[in-house]
DNA sequence: CAAATGCTTTTACATATGTTAAAAAAGCAT
DNA sequence: ATGCTTTTTTAACATATGTAAAAGCATTTG
């Protein structure tokens, strides 16, 4: 599914809205390891991972922390820095060779201020992000590390073949050692 | 600050937009203990707490869990159920005598589909909610229960005089016993 | 006022998870 | 393939936080 199709699935879009958005989308291939956004840079784009994998990460007390993981057909962007247009203390890198469709945030913001359907698209996307965050809070509060791992596997059965375990552990809010214990079953 | 003023602070609003919103807002006093939304009900309103205090809660494994606390000039609503218009598994009750301004969600949704400024208001409110959720995830992941308690006190210095400790503990994702330990300093 | 109900603290104990370090396994490059 | 780096597992130990139960306070209510 393309970014435009993903947009249209969130909010029905007229021809004119689709054309405005399509004109703002750029598609590009990137190699594994490519840094989409380095630390300290003001992010210009919101990205959509047509195919591939990436993560958002940062350093906390000198340790690498994975804040977010995205696989095929998911969005990836340093949202707080994006909407405030301030230097990001989080970085984005690709974990596989990937095909991305990206939209310049400033353009999207302008379109929102001009076009009703696009503003509502933006609204619904933000609402989905909000719901996702709520779910993540609930998972962190009430599920054990083992249960969060199971949940992740349920959603992305092949993720362990694609993403290094240390990143999964960090994303799940636990440690490599704990996750290894969980996988061994010897608890 | 009124709800309309809170709206205008998020997104500049023309006279027409303000009038449309104002017509949809109802203001009312409620006593402490009043249930704004019982379990299983489809929420009709998004609420703004002009003055007072309330909480969103639910039962998890038979235990009362506080999902959200709101004090003066904060929004309170069962957002997931509100936007999906499905029966809420969370309830809302007031913890003090309170003055509320409420807006019917169906009306707000209609206005969003018709009015560009209001759609962008909705978009920005959702974005703020998203950011708040991100912060909460980060706090849960990296702060100890003691640090989360300190943070809460920093934001709302008088909250311990207004909200029972058991609700604070639950909201912070810890237990009454732990929070009591934290407060005693004997760790 | 007294009784009752609800709230907070304390104690004792259990356990999931973190930390550090080292070994084993897997992946990658020359 | 051979070695070099990265990733994963295992081990031993420390600790924050949860659970359960009881006692002490405070608030409400008849």
CATH of the domain at B65: 2.60.120.10
**B56 close to B163: Cβ distance less than 8 angstroms:** no
Neighbours of B76 (CB within 10 A): 25
Domain span at B90: 3-116
Cα separation, B60 vs A115, in Å, equals 43
The answer to whether residue A172 is domain-embedded is no
H-helix or E-strand spanning residue A27:
strand A25-30
Q: Is the CB of B120 under 7 A from strand C?
A: no
The answer to whether residue A26 is domain-embedded is yes
Residue A63: which pLDDT band, with cuts at 50, 70 and 90? confident
The answer to whether residue A40 is domain-embedded is yes
The answer to whether residue B108 is domain-embedded is yes
Cα separation, B137 vs B141, in Å, equals 6
Selecting from A112, A119, A134 the residue whose C-beta is nearest the C-beta of B133 gives A134
pLDDT digits over B20-69, tens only? 999 999 999 999 999 999 999 999 999 999 999 999 999 988 889 999 99
**B167 close to B66: Cβ distance less than 8 angstroms:** yes
Kindly tell me if the per-residue pLDDT of A187 is higher than 90. Answer: no
**B91 close to B57: Cβ distance less than 8 angstroms:** yes
The pLDDT value recorded for residue B64 is 92
The pLDDT value recorded for residue A185 is 77
A164 CA, D8 C1': Å apart: 10
Specify the number of domains making up chain B. Answer: 1
Selecting from A83, A114, A134 the residue whose C-beta is nearest the C-beta of B127 gives A83
Tell how strand B35-37 and strand A45-51 pair up.
Answer: unpaired
The answer to whether residue B123 is domain-embedded is no
Interchain contact, B130 vs A129, CB within 8 Å: yes
Query: A61 burial class (0-12, 13-18, 19+ CB within 10 angstroms)?
Result: exposed
Cα separation, B13 vs B156, in Å, equals 29
SS3 label, residue B159? helix
Query: Minimal Cα distance from A80: which residue of B?
Result: B131
The answer to whether residue A181 is domain-embedded is no
Report the pLDDT averaged over residues A45-65. 93
The answer to whether residue A57 is domain-embedded is yes
Residues of chain B with pLDDT under 70: 186-187
The pLDDT value recorded for residue A184 is 87
Interchain contact, B136 vs A141, CB within 8 Å: no
Interchain contact, A126 vs B131, CB within 8 Å: no
Residue A62: which pLDDT band, with cuts at 50, 70 and 90? confident
- The contacts of residue A120 (CB under 8 Å, 6+ apart) are A11, B112, B113, B119, B122, B123
The answer to whether residue B150 is domain-embedded is no
């Amino acid at each position: 599914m393309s970014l435009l199709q993903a947009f249209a699935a969130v909010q029905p879009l007229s021809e004119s809205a689709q054309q405005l958005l399509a004109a703002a989308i750029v598609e590009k291939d990137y190699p594994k390891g490519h840094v989409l956004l380095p630390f300290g840079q003001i992010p210009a784009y919101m990205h959509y991972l047509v195919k591939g994998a990436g993560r958002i990460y940062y350093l906390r007390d000198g340790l690498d922390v994975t804040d977010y993981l995205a696989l095929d057909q998911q969005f990836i962007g340093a949202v707080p820095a994006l909407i405030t247009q301030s230097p990001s203390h989080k970085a984005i890198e690709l974990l596989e060779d990937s095909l991305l469709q990206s939209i310049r945030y400033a353009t999207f913001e302008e379109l929102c201020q001009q076009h009703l359907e696009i503003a509502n698209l933006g609204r619904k996307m933000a609402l989905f992000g909000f719901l996702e965050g709520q779910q993540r809070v609930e998972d962190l509060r009430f599920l054990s590390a083992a249960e969060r791992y199971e949940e992740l596997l349920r959603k992305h059965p092949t993720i362990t073949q694609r993403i290094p375990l240390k990143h999964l552990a960090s994303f799940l809010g636990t440690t490599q050692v704990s996750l290894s214990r969980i996988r061994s079953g010897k608890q």
